[in-house]
Structure 1
Amino acid sequence: MDDSKPQPTPMTSGLKLTANGSTSIPDPSFYRSIVVKRILRYLQGTVTHGLHFRRATNLTLMAFSDSDWGSDLDDRKSTTGYCVYFGNNLVSWSSRKQRAVSRSSTEAEYRGLAAVTTEIVWIQSLLSELQVNTATPTIYCDNLGAVMLAANPIMHSRTKHFELDLYFVRDKVLTRAIQVFHLPSQFQVADILTKSITGLPFESFRRKLMVTSSCDISLRGDVKDNKVS
């Protein structure tokens, strides 16, 4: 693998794997070896990459939340991803499958909002113990329905099956503990944590996650600027 050509992404763009619907292969180890080789070829091209930290003057919490609705073709559970920045530095991130099946993309996205809100509350508690004062954290979500639900005080019957998440996020919004804003999908940094995407968007989002090569000395702008660039 030392002389193999590096791959720009760890996974083929748009690929959806399933345990059913295809013919079983005689030797599963062969398939697994192909997957591993793809990852190794990606790692070969990124051996100098790491999470970049730099001194920041703006000590604010900012997060991006995204969900890929029904992404698991076997059980139709969604995948949630989020990333949290303290200033310009990435301090927390997650990518995991949701425990329950969501009936709509709005529900899936709202469950993601609840997950990142929980993480922000924990980070705020830690910063409070360290006597670090911060402004109201901001969460960016690319699902307009989820953003409107977070701000709308009216309870809808179709949201009763995720009522606890609904009230948890809404309470934080109403008490101004967090702010939730809509963000167009093309600027959603957390998109890289929920699905396989193509080379150029992948590289752009990876850079905005502050993952960069130690050889690259041309890192410019902060994450908030990159959000809309």
Structure 2
Amino acid sequence: MIMLHKVHVVTDANFASDPDRKSQSGFITLFNNNVVSWGSVKQKVVSLSTAQSEYIAVTEGLKSGICFSNMLNEFNLDSSYIELSGDIIASLHLAAHKSNHQNTKHIDIKLHFVRDLVASRSVKLSYVNTKDNISDMPTKILDGSTFRHLKNLIMDEKEEREI
């Protein structure tokens, strides 16, 4: 029996958070519900919408997930797809649907590689509620109770897996 390993990437962005109005991207990559990498990076362009900012964060997070998935393949550990979660439905819609709507023409074409991965079924998209988005940890300044809540979400997943 072949065991498939789960690679899950959770992404978020902090839209126009810096004085220069560049957004902050954040992601957490999990392998079988264990955090294996995380990152936070200032975006190189000024996003014109929350959806664009989140879509850029999706792209950054997915690059990490692909890198980790490729490493698993080198060790002959199969992962059939990468699960990608975000809390902005518009960015997930951009990733899943080919539409050249007037409001999205400003989004750079290089970001649409996410669409190709979704279309080839290498990536599956899912929504995560904003209050439960663990990728807020590397993205935003959090109050103590929010940080503890998100930390507990990660820890609870590990406890459930070990039982």
TM over 0.5: yes
Give 1:27's aligned residue: none
Partner residue of 1:70 out of 13, 16, 27: 16
Shift of 1:165: 4.1
In the alignment, residue 134 of structure 1 is paired with which amino acid? Answer: S
Shift of 1:139: 0.9
Q: Which runs of 5+ in 1 are unaligned?
A: 1-56, 211-218, 223-229
**1:114, 1:165 within 8 Å by CA — same for their partners in 2?**
no
Question: What RMSD in Å do the two structures reach over aligned CA positions?
Answer: 1.9
CA distance in 1, matches of 2:154, 2:8: 12
In the alignment, residue 10 of structure 2 is paired with which amino acid? Answer: F
In the alignment, residue 195 of structure 1 is paired with which amino acid? Answer: K
Give 2:151's aligned residue: 206
- Relative to its length, the structure with more helix (as a share) is 2
- Report sequence identity in percent: 29
Listed one character per residue, the Cα deviations across residues 21-67 of structure 1 (whole Å, up to 9, x for unaligned) are: xxxxxxxxxxxxxxxxxxxxxxxxxxxxxxxxxxxx87200111000
CA distance in 2, matches of 1:112, 1:165: 13
Give 3-state SS (helix, strand or coil) of 2:79's partner.
coil
Give 2:119's aligned residue: 174
- Relative to its length, the structure with more strand (as a share) is 2
Give 1:100's aligned residue: 45
Give 1:18's aligned residue: none
Partner residue of 1:112 out of 57, 72, 82: 57
Q: Output the TM-score relative to the length of structure 2.
A: 0.88
Shift of 1:162: 2.4
1:61 equivalent in alignment to 2:7: yes
Q: Which runs of 5+ in 2 are unaligned?
A: none
Q: Output the TM-score relative to the length of structure 1.
A: 0.64
Partner residue of 1:220 out of 144, 159, 163: 159
- Would you say how many aligned residue pairs link Structure 1 and Structure 2? 158
